């Protein structure tokens, strides 16, 4: 229920409905995806590819998925371009990040990164991005054997989600979670006026 001055509600009706429809659609889609992978103990997470950032991510959380991260201020993200540029992987002094997410594209790169990594006490997640699905089981074994977490990302959709969930990563991040959710049909009915 929404309450307020009649004129204000009528002037903002379409904005309110658009936001509620979008967020409800995302939360419903998130709930559906989360329930599909529940038996595999996999957490589905949204990516940063959202139209309405924190609102979209909040809707994901309400639906039972994770928001992953909002930006560089709450977690460290090392992408392929950082690795190619030779950035330091010494994170032993990192204190304020929830986690460090390192994007990996192939097994050779994984071996090199694991050899150079100094994580300290911060949780490390290896994001296997557009990784060859035949090599994912080996990568998961190596990463979890080193005491880290695994995230699968890139090209994962509702149609192939179970195929990836059965590999038992810790997380699966999907841009589809927010980009492809259909808005729910919600209307506003005035019940009384002052």
3-state helix, strand, coil in the chain (%, to 5): 40, 15, 45
* Integer Cα distance of 125 and 169 in angstroms: 10
Map tokens 């560089």 to a residue: 72
Residues in the chain: 194
CA-closest candidate to residue 127, choices 119, 41, 113? 113
| Cβ atoms of residues 156 and 127 within 8 Å | no
Q: At 85, is the secondary structure helix, strand, or coil?
A: coil
Annotated active-site positions, please?
14, 49, 79, 103, 129
């Amino acid at each position: 229920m929404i309450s307020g001055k009649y004129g204000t509600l009528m002037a903002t009706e379409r904005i309110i409905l658009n936001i509620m429809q979008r967020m409800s659609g995302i939360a419903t889609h998130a709930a559906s995806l989360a329930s599909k992978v529940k038996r595999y103990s996999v957490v589905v997470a949204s990516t940063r590819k959202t139209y309405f950032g924190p609102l979209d991510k909040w809707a994901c959380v309400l639906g039972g998925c994770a928001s992953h991260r909002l930006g560089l201020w709450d977690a460290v993200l090392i992408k392929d371009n950082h690795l190619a540029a030779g950035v330091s992987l010494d994170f032993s002094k990192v204190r304020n990040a929830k986690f460090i997410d390192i994007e990996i594209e192939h097994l050779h790169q994984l071996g090199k990164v694991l050899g150079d990594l100094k994580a300290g006490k911060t949780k490390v997640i290896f994001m296997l991005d557009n990784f060859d699905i035949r090599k994912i089981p080996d990568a998961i074994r190596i990463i979890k054997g080193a005491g880290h977490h695994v995230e699968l990302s890139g090209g994962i959709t509702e149609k192939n989600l179970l195929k990836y969930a059965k590999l038992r990563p810790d997380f699966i991040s999907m841009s589809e979670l927010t980009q492809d959710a259909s808005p729910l049909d919600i209307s506003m009915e005035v019940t009384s006026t002052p």
